[in-house]
Amino acid sequence: MRFKDNVAIVTGAASGIGRISARDYAAEGASVVLVDVNADAVEAAAEAIRKAGGEACAIPTDIRSYEAVEQAAARTVERYGRIDILANIAGGNPHRVCKCPGGFEEMPLEAIDWGIEVNFSGPIYFCRAVLPTMIEQKSGVIINLGSVGGVVGGASAVVYGAAKSGMIGLTKSLALAGGPHGVRACCVSPGPVMTRDAMAEIKTPLGRAAEPEDVTKLILYLSSEDAKMISGSNHLIDGARACGGYT
């Protein structure tokens, strides 16, 4: 019960790493606010937590809108009185999500905008929305989900790699801004994760993609008091893919 009496906001909580993170925060005692643009799926995820005996609520939110993000943060404080953890998990490769399989030079501007807004602007918005509460509390943890693509780059994911690289810089700057107020920030950068079958085709020196739980265990560790002196750092969990030899 590492998160007893804590309140956690998890974005991208309707599926994948976000949903598992929300489930596991709740299993260890946190009250969890699940945020996602998919209203039906995020409510179903929250209901599953409640049925398992946890405390959770869903707030459907388009993180591309600062007004919507600010309302989600305000509703969290209104309901639970505090915000101890923000896990910025929402994101995705715009080539896949926006169905534009060509190269960067062929991407429509709408897909570029989606990639930056969801993978970078939205997390910045949420950090801005929760930081005043954390500063007032003199405590808080922000976990930003990066990617190995933000460390090594990728010709097939220019916008995604740029946004995820920005998450590393955001984390460093938040650690400096929040440190005097007891607020930590960490970035978790996975390689391929088996949230989709196609990820199994992406190679790593360890010979496999990560299971989602491999990543969520690291997210929860960095959120906990066990990591109370870890802040401002990027944590690769990529099976050594960033060490080279893969493109």
CB atoms within 10 A of CB 73: 24
**One-letter amino acid for residue 244 of the chain:** G
Of the candidates 126, 132, 144, which has an alpha carbon nearest to the alpha carbon of residue 70?
Answer: 126
Angstrom distance (rounded) from CA 147 to CA 152: 9
CA end-to-end span of the chain: 41
Structure tokens at 141: 């943890």
Angstrom distance (rounded) from CA 123 to CA 63: 8
The answer to whether 133 touches 175, Cβ cutoff 8 Å, is: no
**Catalytic residue selected from 125, 160, 221, 246:** 160
**66 is an active site residue:** no
The answer to whether 42 touches 120, Cβ cutoff 8 Å, is: no
Place of tokens 């739980």: 213
CB atoms within 10 A of CB 207: 7
- Give the active site residues: 160
